[in-house]
Amino acid sequence: MLVGQRMSDLIGQTDLVKIPSLSKLTGSDIFLKCEFQNPGGSIKDRAAKQLIEDAFERDELRPGMTVVEGTAGNTGIGLALVAKSYGLNMLAVMPNDQSPEKERMIALHGGELMAVDPVPFKNENHFYHTARRIAEERDDYWWANQFENTSNARAHYLHTGPEIWQQMEGRIDTFVSVAGTGGTIGGNSMFFKEQDENVDVWLADPDGSGIFEFLKSGDYVSEGGSMTEGIGIMRLVENFNQAKIDHAVNLPDQDLVTLSRYLREQDGIVLGSSSALNVAAALAAALHKGKGQRIVTFACDLGERSASKLYNEAYLKGRGLNPQPEPIEQLLERYGNLGDKIISTHWRGQAARGK
């Protein structure tokens, strides 16, 4: 049993659980890394800890300063938690269309929240640019910069990947992850490929993100949108540039409705939206590759953080989604032939940014 000296010491060493229902349906073992067990309730606690600890190592932070970050929620929660444990303050700049559950959690952990209108990245009032400007205005503010600061990916290279490798006894056929900043898939895929180049890395991408099309054609193009908060990128960022990816799959939000309800009823697992996308992609990988696989993905956060969206009938109907899940047999049949929704790639990073 770990005895921590501060709350942030308890981040990591999360459990791994097999998903009984999907493993039985596919003939492959599908595992979830339970990142909701982190003290801030999500996988973003790991990046938050590494970002702050590395900044102290570089003498960029000292007690009493304020950490500033643009976030869709979970990184802000993680940074607020870690900041307080190191005698820091936290200011989260967040689009005002994110779930109220995350807003409340940032405040609960002692963080200050600045809500801004959701605008395209090229707009100077985008939450990313707003956070950067605020941090530049004061010497006692520090910008975490989770998209470009590779301490994010380093957290997973140093800790998450090795944990999974040990838990799986070095036997992983397929690793599946969404990408928001790219840190999770970047750091973990680097570690796994160093252990075994044959580990098959799959990117799960929702509608509204441009990564799938970027890996397919080299252009960031997207259609529609997704209720998965903070998932998907429309530009090349340095943490994603660390990733080593072999396959990518593009899946719609309707499938997240189906699988979240199915796992809740069959396994007692309540998934958040990004976790449901991970599980959907793991299912697609299992059916694409055939029986006998050992597949690992993440339960990124607590399902309760998706209560106002993924589990809200009125919200789903407002987005044109059917709150009633598709019969699992129909979904399995579709996933057996996803066609051009699955691509093979050999993404190993782009050495020259801006190509």
Taking residues 123-146, report their average pLDDT: 96
C-alpha span between 80 and 259 (Å, rounded): 31
Taking residues 277-286, report their average pLDDT: 99
Examine residue 352 and state whether it is found in any structural domain, yes or no. Answer: no
Taking residues 109-118, report their average pLDDT: 94
The percentage of residues in the chain with a pLDDT greater than 90, rounded to a whole number, is 90
- Please indicate, yes or no, whether residues 131 and 187 belong to a single structural domain of this protein: no
Backbone torsions φ then ψ of 45, nearest 5 degrees:
-55, -35
Local structure of 106: helix, strand or coil? helix
What range defines the domain where residue 226 resides? 7-37+160-347
- Please indicate, yes or no, whether residues 180 and 293 belong to a single structural domain of this protein: yes
Residue 143 confidence (pLDDT) above 60: yes
pLDDT of residue 73: 83
- Please indicate, yes or no, whether residues 234 and 341 belong to a single structural domain of this protein: yes
- Closest to 186 (Cα-Cα) out of 47, 342, 279: 47
- Please indicate, yes or no, whether residues 15 and 50 belong to a single structural domain of this protein: no
Examine residue 307 and state whether it is found in any structural domain, yes or no. Answer: yes
CB-facing half-sphere around the CA of 179: CA atoms within 13 A: 39
- Please indicate, yes or no, whether residues 25 and 62 belong to a single structural domain of this protein: no
Instruction: Provide CB contacts within 8 A for 334, sequence distance 6+.
Output: none
- Please give, one letter per residue, the 3-state secondary structure of 125-175: CCHHHHHHHHHHCCCCEEECCCCCCCHHHHHHHHHHHHHHHHHCCCCCCEE
Examine residue 337 and state whether it is found in any structural domain, yes or no. Answer: yes
Lowest mean pLDDT among 153-157, 208-212, 244-248: 208-212
Domain's final residue, options 87, 116, 143: 143
- Please indicate, yes or no, whether residues 32 and 61 belong to a single structural domain of this protein: no
| More confident site: 351 or 57 | 57
- Please indicate, yes or no, whether residues 60 and 32 belong to a single structural domain of this protein: no
Taking residues 200-225, report their average pLDDT: 92
Whole-prediction pTM value? 0.95
Examine residue 322 and state whether it is found in any structural domain, yes or no. Answer: yes
pLDDT of residue 246: 98
Examine residue 2 and state whether it is found in any structural domain, yes or no. Answer: no
- Please indicate, yes or no, whether residues 181 and 311 belong to a single structural domain of this protein: yes
Domain's final residue, options 143, 173, 198: 143
- Please indicate, yes or no, whether residues 176 and 111 belong to a single structural domain of this protein: no
pLDDT, averaged across the chain: 95
Examine residue 149 and state whether it is found in any structural domain, yes or no. Answer: no
- Closest to 21 (Cα-Cα) out of 337, 288, 286: 286
pLDDT of residue 353: 41
pLDDT tens, residue by residue, 294-352: 999 999 998 888 999 999 999 999 999 999 999 999 999 999 999 999 999 999 998 53
- Please indicate, yes or no, whether residues 311 and 170 belong to a single structural domain of this protein: yes
pLDDT of residue 351: 53
User: What is the residue whose two structure tokens read 């492959």?
Assistant: 28
What's the token pair of residue 284? Answer: 């697609």
Lowest mean pLDDT among 78-82, 193-197, 233-237: 233-237
C-alpha Rg value of the chain to the nearest Å: 19
The percentage of residues in the chain with a pLDDT greater than 70, rounded to a whole number, is 98
Lowest mean pLDDT among 13-17, 49-53, 229-233: 229-233
- Please indicate, yes or no, whether residues 195 and 214 belong to a single structural domain of this protein: yes
pLDDT of residue 270: 97
Examine residue 188 and state whether it is found in any structural domain, yes or no. Answer: yes
Output the CA torsion sign for 274, 80, 58, 157. negative
Examine residue 282 and state whether it is found in any structural domain, yes or no. Answer: yes
CB-facing half-sphere around the CA of 35: CA atoms within 13 A: 27
Residue 354 confidence (pLDDT) above 80: no
Q: 73: domain CATH number?
A: 3.40.50.1100
**Of all helices (H) and strands (E), which one includes residue 75?**
helix 74-85
pLDDT of residue 352: 37
Taking residues 5-21, report their average pLDDT: 96
- Please indicate, yes or no, whether residues 71 and 134 belong to a single structural domain of this protein: yes
Q: Give the chain's domain count.
A: 2
Domain's final residue, options 109, 143, 177: 143
pLDDT tens, residue by residue, 237-281: 999 999 999 999 999 999 999 999 999 999 999 999 999 999 999
pLDDT of residue 355: 33
pLDDT tens, residue by residue, 26-47: 999 999 999 999 999 999 999 9
